[in-house]
Chains A and B, each alone.
Chain A
Amino acid sequence: MDKYLNKKLLVLSLLLGIAVFFGLAQGSVRIPLNELLLKDNQVIFNLRLLRILAAILVGSGLAVAGIVLQAILRNPLAEPYLLGTSSGAGLAAVIAVILGVSRIYMPLAAFLGAVASIILVYALASERKKIADKSLILSGVIISIAFSSIIVFLVSLFGNQAMHEMNWWLWGSLQVYDWQLVLLVAIPVILGIGVIYIFAQDLNAIQLGEEEALHLGIDTQNVKNILIIIAALITASLICICGIIGFVGLIVPHMMRQAVGSNHKALIPVTCLAAAIFMVVCDIVSRTLFAPVEIPIGVITAIIGAPIFIILLKRSQRIR
């Protein structure tokens, strides 16, 4: 394993600390840091802190979910929403809005929608208890398209109200005000990341090929099922608090793979930290760039993410 891994982790932790500091200091209302700590401003401080914690959770969770799908499907372009989770959650949310369900239950509706779409995609892809990688990707794409069109259909029927509610889903948002919800989501996300880390060596072997992994004593089918479901649950939980945030699950794992290699024992912790930094920074940009107007975070991750991705892609092509 990487000899400098501990140093890299230390540097990333320091960077995360700095990002968190700036995240606390910056906001749509400008308050000097020494005043922010005063009792009068405690509400603002708490809100900012909650937002930053949500950003860290979302970044790490989505990036690790991305890593799992990329390794298992042996496809660097796999991303956390591949299994139709985003459109499933979106559809459930729209239906909930139309039915006039209270806002408090929106996260629950989104979660259930995401889980339902995962089950549907899985059922479509499985054949005699086996899941072929290609059919999983294909059924994920098909379900996504089908659900998205139903969303558009419903929104055009029921008009503006649903449309307005939908916007933050589609481009993501870290505007969370509910400590309990964030803590509730944190449990499956943190546990999920932990379990995935336990399977790090299995992911390494599966990357060499499914039969190679079997030759090394890994019950490939079983491990794949467990890990895909965990990744999907992490994604589904995060959708409840942040909607759909693209790119972070794709680009951060890709960057870190170039930095520390394919070994998941190093890749998972490094990516967790890097993705947390990435999200906290993107959140700061989204809050401050056109303050007090907040730009959807998904727009920022895409605007920052796409150029980095292109540069990395071009560079790796040149090396080959």
Chain B
Amino acid sequence: MKPLLRIDNLSAGYYNEDIIKGVSLDVQAGDFMGIIGPNGSGKTTLLRLCSKILRPRQGRIYFSEKDIFTMELKEFCRQVAFVSQDISTDLSFSVMEMVLMGRIPHLKRLQFETKKDTEICERALTLTGSAELKEKMLNELSAGERQRAIIARALAQEPVLLLLDEPTAHLDIGHQIQVMDLLKKLNHQDNLTIVMILHDLNLASAYCNRICLLDNGNIFKEGQAEGVLTYKNIEAVYKTVVLVNTNPVTGRPNVVLVPKEL
């Protein structure tokens, strides 16, 4: 099967220093891929490259076999959406106004939103369980509600591929599970391909069908949770001792932290 997203021998960074050093990775349609790795390992840089924000120094990224850096930006954004950790909240936009911005890539310069665009946005709001937040202002929402609204905006772009940069970073465990369950549902029901950066190894283990462990700009290990989340790999990359047992519910690896001082 041809990969949906193909990263080919990619090197990139800021100024003269390479943060990503010759990474190659294939993402298949329908994948739920987690990108993990310590701070500074290049996770965010990799995702910025995949979302066309940053240009590589070397190598290519193909989306449906098209080089994304020669693709027109709006055409790209009709198929690939991005969800950031959070957005600035001192702006007075209503949730619906923000979600409608997801329709920008589908509209021509002189075109205003039609009823169809509103319907697509309402469906996205319903899917993310935020239909009742529609008229609320962004600064009235809790962090979890806001994250769901941002995901709704990404869905309004009607993407094939969803990129997420640690969408659960500011959320408590209840909201973390809520957001992850939502993504899993979208992945299952709508066959939405997902690539997300995660800090929490156990969330990655529980939800992702493939995990990519980055270390210092290289892929240290890539594959299913069982193969990647071994205590040896984690110790080698994170330089810390952990125990890995099995999550009794999911049957997937469960990483247990081991404090050095008790």
Contact = CB atoms under 8 A, between A and B. Distances in A.
Interface of A: 1, 198, 201-202, 204-205, 207-209, 211-212, 214-219, 257, 261-263
Interface stretch (B83-91, B182-190, B232-240): B83-91
A208 B52 contact: no
B92 interface: yes
A211 B49 CA distance: 12
B52 A214 contact: yes
Interface stretch (B102-110, B172-180, B222-230): B102-110
B104 A262 contact: no
A201 B105 CA distance: 11
A217 B87 contact: no
Contacts of A263: 93-94, 97
A216 B87 contact: no
B101 A204 contact: yes
B110 A198 contact: yes
Given A208-B87, A217-B73, A217-B74, A201 B92 contact: no
B77 A208 contact: no
B82 A261 contact: no
B53 A209 contact: no
A165 to B, nearest CB: 43
A9 to B, nearest CB: 16
A204 B82 CA distance: 17
B92 A262 contact: yes
13 contacts: A201-B104, A204-B97, A204-B101, A208-B98, A209-B87, A212-B84, A215-B51, A215-B77, A215-B82, A216-B104, A216-B157, A261-B137, A262-B93
Given A198-B109, A208-B101, A261-B92, A214 B84 contact: no
B155 interface: no
Nearest to B102: A216
B146 interface: no
A263 B73 CA distance: 23
B68 interface: no
B92 A257 contact: yes
A263 B76 CA distance: 25
Given A214-B53, A215-B84, A216-B102, 7 more contacts: A198-B110, A208-B101, A212-B84, A218-B73, A261-B97, A262-B93, A263-B97
B192 interface: no
A215 B77 CA distance: 7
Contacts of A212: 84, 87
B81 interface: yes
A214 B73 contact: yes
Contacts of A262: 91-93
B93 A204 contact: yes
B148 interface: no
A208 B88 contact: yes
B53 A211 contact: yes
B78 interface: yes
Contacts of B98: 208
Given A208-B87, A212-B84, A212-B87, A261 B101 contact: no
Contacts of B82: 215
Nearest to B76: A217
Contacts of B88: 208-209
Contacts of A215: 51, 53, 77, 81-82, 84
B92 A217 contact: no
Nearest to A207: B91
A215 B78 CA distance: 10
B93 A217 contact: no
A217 B105 contact: yes
B223 to A, nearest CB: 29
Nearest to B84: A212
A214 to B, nearest CB: 6
Contacts of A211: 53, 84
A253 to B, nearest CB: 13
A211 B83 CA distance: 11
B182 to A, nearest CB: 19
Nearest to B81: A215
A217 B52 CA distance: 10
A257 B92 CA distance: 8
A1 B99 CA distance: 12
Nearest to A199: B109
Nearest to A2: B94
A202 B98 CA distance: 12
Contacts of A1: 97
Nearest to B105: A217
A175 to B, nearest CB: 38
Contacts of A207: 91
A217 B154 CA distance: 12
B109 A217 contact: no
A216 B92 contact: no
Contacts of A219: 73
Contacts of B76: 217
A175 B98 CA distance: 44
Contacts of B53: 211, 214-215
Contacts of A217: 73-74, 76-78, 104-105
B129 to A, nearest CB: 22
A208 B91 contact: yes
A207 B52 CA distance: 20
